[in-house]
Amino acid sequence: MAAAPRLVVIGAGEGVRRARAARLAGHYAIPLLPAVDILIKRQLLPDDGYVIDSPPQLLDRVAGVGGLLPVLAFVDLVVLLPGAGSSGTEETSRVLRYYDARGVLLTVGADTPDDEIILVIDAALRGRGDPEGPPGTPWRP
């Protein structure tokens, strides 16, 4: 059995982001963790997969203070739900460029169905072990 994914869901629309993160956690049967608990309260991450729910402003603040969020450096995928007309701050852009350069950034529209996102997550995770394909190839609809 494959290991459960380690995901981060980032998005400006709090309701949409939280709902999407909760549905992904439910689908994979892994815990949903608020980023504030991980990044500020220093809660330990579970060994067997998780979904971290984070507003971009929190990533701004933490990345601006201490670098590139080492606790999130080991995630399998970062699912970005951009808000309408969002133009992130310089720090958010730096953090997102970091994830994009690592090949773990998955940008999806808020209206993309869960089953499509799950298919892409599963394919990206399988692709990491496939020597024929690039690991973690980002997907943008």
pLDDT of 31 > 90? The answer is: yes
Whole-angstrom Cα distance, residue 3 to residue 11?
25
Domain range annotation of the chain: 11-43+74-85+104-131
Q: Return the amino acid letter for 94.
A: R
Side-by-side strand order, sheet with 105-107: 32-34, 50-54, 6-11, 77-81, 105-107
Taking only the tens place, the pLDDT of each residue in 84-109 is 555 555 556 777 777 888 888 888 88
The answer to whether 136 touches 103, Cβ cutoff 8 Å, is yes
Taking only the tens place, the pLDDT of each residue in 37-46 is 887 777 788 8
pTM as predicted? 0.77
Instruction: Please give the distance of CA 66 from its chain centroid, rounded to a whole number.
Output: 19
